[in-house]
Every structure is written in C-alpha cells, then in structure tokens.
Amino acid sequence: MSLVDIDTLVGGIADGTRLAIAKEDMGAAIRATLALIRRGVRDLHLVCVPTSGLQADLLIGAGCVATIETAGVSLGEFGGAPRFAAAVRRGALRIVDGTCPAIYAGMQAGQKGTPFMPLRGIIGSDLLEHRDDWKVIDNPFAAGDRLVAIRAIVPDVALFHARAADREGNVFLGRDRDGLLLAQASRRALVTVESVVEGNLLEDEARAGAVLPAHYVSGIAHAPGGTWPVKFGDDEPVDAQWMTRYADLARTEAGFAQVLDELMTRAEPRVAAVV
C-alpha cells in the first residue's frame, strides 16, 4: 500500500459521510481533522466511539457536523466542550444520544455483520423513548427476560491515529483494541501513524497480535505528533497549557476562530510528507 499525505488521505470523505472517530486516549487523528476542516467538509454524521472531546468540538465549531452520535462530548479535566455546548443551545446539531456500552454494542454488531447486538442495562431509562432504532425484545432462551436490541452501526469511514504502519498497509495498534473495532465495523478505515517501519508487522511475532491487517485499511498517512494537543499513550502527554487556553477562548465564535487559526498554523509543519 502506498502512503499518502494527509490531504489525500481525507480527500474522499465527502459531505454527509457517517464518520467514526476514536475516543481521545485511543488515538484522535487531530491532524487529519484539521485537513477536513481546511477542505470545508459539511453535514457529517459523527459517530464517537464512544465519546470525544477536542476532535468533535473542532469539527462542530468549524461547521462540519450535522449529526453527532455519542455517549458524551467533554474536554475532561479542562471542562465542557464549548462549541458542542453552543451548538446544542442554538439547536444547530442533531444529537443521537447513546451510552458507552450501547455504542460499543452497535459497533460490534457492525463488525460481526449482524443486524443488532443484545444489551442489558438500558431498560427503565428514558433513552428508549428517544431511540426508535433500539427495540426491547424477549430473550429466546429465557422466558420473561427482556433485552434491548441495539441496531448495528456501520460507519462509512473510520478515522483514527495509531502507533505505526508498515509499507504493506498493516497497522500496529498496541494494547488498545478499539482501532480493530473501528476498522472492521466501517466500510473504510483511514489511519494516521506516528512512524513507518520496514518489514511486515504481521511477521513480527512480538507485535503481530496487536496488528490491524492491511485488508481492513483503505489509506495511511505518516503524521508524527498526529494527536497533538491531546494525549496519545505514555509518550505523548496532553498539552495542558494549550487545552486550558482553548477551553477559555472557544467559548465565543471569535475566540474559536482565533484558536483554530493558530492550531492550523502550528499543525502545518508537523504534517509529514509521503515517506
């Protein structure tokens, strides 16, 4: 598989795409997100697996998102997600509310090619009043046992960041397996990576068990520091100073525009060319 630059990687994400993104400590592809914003993509149906923070807030603030399917959007220790909150207040965003287990269940159904995945723990909550795509069913093996059938989630594209890839298109995920779920449940998977390694990762006995095979990968871009300013593993801590400033400035549209422009400018030299 040929490596591409980030703009080429995300070039096929069209308006209206159902786009799945990873939780931030797994690998939020911030560099690729900025490329989408530069392109002016619109009307995304954003699927957060199962939550998001800065990545979703940037896309919402830039006017890229029409619908968000999530268990929550927050900047964590830095407070609420200001552009998400503003969009909700003015009714500019359709929210498909879920829970972490329900979103994982829907993705697992998509991964397995089944129409739904049964789940406990939602019966009795008001979520069922707002989700006509979730159905209460009887357990066929136990009379009187009620379950919720969570409809399969099959995103058009999954977008996430990972540790490494080889030139065959295999991607090393490490101990977090969400990348495997994202890629296998989605029609296409686009991945940015910290490094490109020689040889075939699937032939490396020590790492093969944590490798996403190239069969599930549609495109790879080399993007060192591709999650900055959010955390990525133990080697890439969150930039707390930048996040604090963002949480403050992004409360207004003018402040968000300022900080987004700064982020775009800073990100440009960090985006690696084709290797």
- What is the band of 268 on the pLDDT scale with cuts at 50, 70, 90? low
Q: What pLDDT is stored for residue 1 in this prediction?
A: 76
pLDDT 10s digits, 148-184: 999 999 999 999 999 999 999 999 999 888 999 999 9
Q: What pLDDT is stored for residue 75 in this prediction?
A: 98
What pTM was estimated for this model as a whole? 0.95
How much is the average pLDDT of 230-258? 95
How much is the average pLDDT of 106-133? 95
pLDDT 10s digits, 34-73: 999 999 999 999 999 999 999 999 999 999 999 999 999 9
How much is the average pLDDT of 136-140? 96
Question: Does the pLDDT value for residue 105 go beyond 60?
Answer: yes
The Cα–Cα gap between 29 and 11 comes to: 15
Say if CB 50 and CB 100 are below 8 A apart.
Answer: yes
Long-range contacts of 112-117 (CB under 8 A, 24+ apart): 114/152, 115/151, 115/152, 116/149, 116/150, 116/151, 116/152, 117/149, 117/150, 117/152
DSSP string of 69-128?
A: EES-BB-GGG-B-HHHHHHHHTT-SEEEE--HHHHHHHHHHHHHT-SEEEE-S-TTSTHH
What domains can you pick out in the chain, each with its CATH number? 6-98+154-270 (3.40.1080.10), 116-151 (no CATH)
Q: What pLDDT is stored for residue 235 in this prediction?
A: 79
The Cα–Cα gap between 48 and 67 comes to: 11
Q: Give percent of the chain with pLDDT exceeding 90.
A: 91
Structure token pair of residue 6: 């980030």
Question: Does the pLDDT value for residue 194 go beyond 50?
Answer: yes
Q: Which residue has the higher pLDDT, 1 or 96?
A: 96
* Average pLDDT in the chain: 94
